[in-house]
Amino acid sequence: MKKIFNLKLILQSAINSRWWRNLSALTLSEIFIRLAKFIILAIAARELGPELFGVFNYLLAIAALIAVIGDFGINKIITRNIAVDRSLISIYSRSLGVQVIIIAIFIGLFSLGLYVFQPQLSLVLFIMLALFTGLNILGDYIWSFFRALELMKLEAIAKGVQAGVVLIAGGLLLISPFPLVGLGVAYFIGAFSTALIGLYQLRTLERDINLHPDLSVWRGLVGQSWPIAIVAVSAFIFNQIDSIMLGLWNLLTDVGYYNAAYKIIGGLIIPMFLLNQVLYPKFSKLDMTDGIALVRKNILANLVMYSVALIFVGAFGKEILELFFGAEYGIAKDAFFVLTAVLLLTALSFPVSNWLIAKDYLKVNLFISVFAAMLNITTNYILIPQFGYLGAAIATYVTYVFITLAYYVVVFIIRRKTLSGLY
């Protein structure tokens, strides 16, 4: 009876812990967000057809590139540093105004670039997506303060509101005379609501918040974050450059097929993403032995989940695509299977990457990511003209094979050096 009592006590303690509350809030929120986005994109895929759906996802990919560059890895630095020293909130908040200016510059440059090089695409739609992206960058910037304090529940609620707004507004605007532009407007409204909630909550949480732009504070953050920024840009390249390169070859229908498969993959990755987001602050505090032990447990759980997913997609991939997106999209079943196989490799590499960033091995991540980005661009360049969207999927798989092998070699070297230094 004593053992049973102790077990109950342990379980009760886990449930009442901040870690568990954060994970629960993020899980519920992320499930709703992903589900809402999936529903609206599934409706859009049917209403727009593969070509226009491809146009929208092509623009989303460009907008995501703006987000990566505009963020510049600062969010992770803010979260990491404030997790150790809360007093930095009042200092780091002075960089917010500078970040707004930077975002505006990137939005202007990319909007102009699209107008010059691909004027046939809707400039209005792109501006809406760019604004949506800018507001998302701003929102994530604000929420990084809350992540540092392990107050992820507030972020979870706000992003849930955003998803709900996009779902309702997008559903209504898709039946308008201009469905493509309407979808862009819906994304913009959702991002605006989240950024507004985040700013209000931050002022409520910390009364000493100073929003006056301070270039020196921002410069100091950039001085720490630039390796993360290069890693993030590189990660974007080997995760989303496929859609951009397909679009640059004017294979916009292929972009539609590819993204139909990719959106389902985005849903499947939720558990891995959430767990790593919650564990990131913990990795910063644990020593190497405990940190690697936690990484191993994370990897094992991921492998079990995604092995089952791969078997299921291999058996019913075509039917799954047709069920959610329509009969036109079943043709992408092979790409769907290849991208699901990528999840297995991600299950092996993502926790290791997260641990390396938390332990300040930023240059290692930098080297691997840059090389992976170059490899992905090269393989896409070779395979896309011949195989279209399937070539893009294969290029992603080849890239993740390299990433996974590289991370494990690095961890082996780090452990060997650390252990040898103890004797």
Of 162, 187, 213, the position where a domain reaches its end is 213
Whether residue 194 sits in one domain with residue 239: no
Q: CA angle, 370 as apex, 92 and 126 as ends, to 5°?
A: 65
Cβ proximity of 128 and 181 under 8 Å: yes
pLDDT of residue 287: 67
Q: Is 150 left (phi over 0), alpha (psi -120 to 50) or beta?
A: left
pLDDT of residue 370: 86
Tell me the torsion sign for CA atoms 145, 189, 215, 354: positive
Whether residue 193 sits in one domain with residue 116: yes
pLDDT of residue 192: 86
Whether residue 286 sits in one domain with residue 209: no
Q: CA angle, 328 as apex, 323 and 329 as ends, to 5°?
A: 60
Residue 323, domain member (yes or no): yes
Residue 52, domain member (yes or no): yes
Whether residue 140 sits in one domain with residue 243: no
Tell me the torsion sign for CA atoms 40, 43, 44, 45: positive
pLDDT of residue 126: 74
Residue 220, domain member (yes or no): no
* Stronger pLDDT, 281 or 175, i.e. the higher one: 175
Distance CA 34, CA 182 (A): 20
Which tokens belong to 90? 């009042």
Q: pLDDT tens for residues 87-145?
A: 777 777 777 778 778 777 877 777 777 777 777 676 677 777 777 887 887 777 777 77
Three-state SS sequence of the chain? CHHHHHHHHHHHHHHHCHHHHHHHHHHHHHHHHHHHHHHHHHHHHHHHHHHHHHHHHHHHHHHHHHHHHHHCCHHHHHHHHHHHCCCHHHHHHHHHHHHHHHHHHHHHHHHHHHHHHCCCCCHHHHHHHHHHHHHHHHHHHHHHHHHHCCCHHHHHHHHHHHHHHHHHHHHHHCCCCCHHHHHHHHHHHHHHHHHHHHHHHHHHHCCCCCCCCCHHHHHHHHHHHHHHHHHHHHHHHHHHHHHHHHHHCCCHHHHHHHHHHHHHHHHHCHHHHHHHHHHHHHHHHCCHHHHHHHHHHHHHHHHHHHHHHHHHHHHHHHHHHHHHHCHHHHHHHHHHHHHHHHHHHHHHHHHHHHHHHHCCCHHHHHHHHHHHHHHHHHHHHHHHHHHHHHHHHHHHHHHHHHHHHHHHHHHHHHHHHHHHCCC
Q: Which of 270, 259, 415 is nearest to 346 (CA)?
A: 270
Whether residue 339 sits in one domain with residue 306: yes
Residue 14, domain member (yes or no): no
Among the listed ranges 47-56, 137-146, 236-245, which one has the minimum average pLDDT value? Answer: 137-146
Q: State the virtual CA torsion across 389, 44, 277, 126 in degrees, nearest 10.
A: 80
pLDDT band at 338 (very low <50, low <70, confident <90, very high): very high
Q: pLDDT tens for residues 374-388?
A: 999 999 999 999 999
Residue 406, domain member (yes or no): yes
Whether residue 111 sits in one domain with residue 31: yes
Of 186, 213, 240, the position where a domain reaches its end is 213
Residue 2, domain member (yes or no): no
Q: Which domain holds residue 105?
A: 19-213
Residue 145: which residues within 8 A CB-CB, separation 6 or more?
78, 79, 82, 89, 92, 93, 202, 205, 206
Among the listed ranges 1-15, 252-266, 317-331, 350-364, which one has the minimum average pLDDT value? Answer: 1-15
pLDDT band at 281 (very low <50, low <70, confident <90, very high): low
Domain count, the chain: 2
Whether residue 97 sits in one domain with residue 193: yes
Whether residue 269 sits in one domain with residue 143: no
pLDDT of residue 161: 82
Whether residue 291 sits in one domain with residue 204: no
| pTM for this entry | 0.76
Distance CA 285, CA 282 (A): 5
Q: Which of 319, 315, 311, 317 is nearest to 390 (CA)?
A: 317
Q: In the chain, pLDDT over 90 holds for what percent of residues?
A: 15
Cβ proximity of 78 and 148 under 8 Å: yes
pLDDT of residue 300: 83
Of 179, 213, 247, the position where a domain reaches its end is 213
pLDDT band at 399 (very low <50, low <70, confident <90, very high): very high
* Stronger pLDDT, 7 or 150, i.e. the higher one: 150
Q: Which of 415, 60, 76 is nearest to 231 (CA)?
A: 76
Q: Which of 370, 407, 399, 405 is nearest to 292 (CA)?
A: 407
Whether residue 359 sits in one domain with residue 296: yes
Distance CA 311, CA 326 (A): 22
Whether residue 311 sits in one domain with residue 187: no
Q: pLDDT tens for residues 291-317?
A: 677 778 778 877 888 888 889 888 898
Q: Which of 282, 329, 316 is nearest to 44 (CA)?
A: 329
Among the listed ranges 182-186, 278-282, 356-360, which one has the minimum average pLDDT value? Answer: 278-282
Q: State the virtual CA torsion across 272, 275, 279, 281 in degrees, nearest 10.
A: 100
Whether residue 267 sits in one domain with residue 167: no
Cβ proximity of 305 and 267 under 8 Å: no
Radius of gyration of the chain (CA): 22
pLDDT of residue 11: 42
Residue 303, domain member (yes or no): yes
pLDDT of residue 21: 64
Q: Which of 18, 76, 68, 74 is nearest to 356 (CA)?
A: 76
pLDDT of residue 122: 67
